[in-house]
Amino acid sequence: MTKNFKVSEFACQCGCGFDDINIELVRRLQEARNLFGESIVITSGCRCLKHNRNIGSNDTSSHVKGLASDVTCKDPNKFNLIKLAYCLGRAGFKRIGINTEKKFIHIDIDKEKTQDMIFTY
């Protein structure tokens, strides 16, 4: 798919096979990876509706459309997460959610959602 990312990394974690990730999202992730200079780990990509509901997310989640991913890095301390968020922004992501407690960052390219925002949870 790109130099550092494979389609299988974005597959729904329930094993259903849903892996229809948006190529523009992956292209931007690759650009962020190039800027970050270290591995970016996909912790959640595509989610089928059943899996999405099972983990407590709502039906409007961008993950069910293949337009979102949750990512982290090898050493997800607060500094590295903020550095990664910066690189994601430089790569063109306009919706970035940072969770320093659970050590991941949500990114999406869902135009139906509010753009130009960084949020925490």
CA gap 47, 66 in Å, rounded: 8
- Domain hosting residue 96, numbered range: 7-120
- In the chain, the number of structural domains is 1
State which residues of the chain have pLDDT below 70: none
Position 2 in a domain: no
Position 86 in a domain: yes
Position 85 in a domain: yes
CATH of the domain at 87: 3.30.1380.10
**For residue 16, what pLDDT is reported?**
98
> Is 81 within 8 Å of 100 (Cβ atoms)?
yes
Position 48 in a domain: yes
**For residue 87, what pLDDT is reported?**
98
Position 90 in a domain: yes
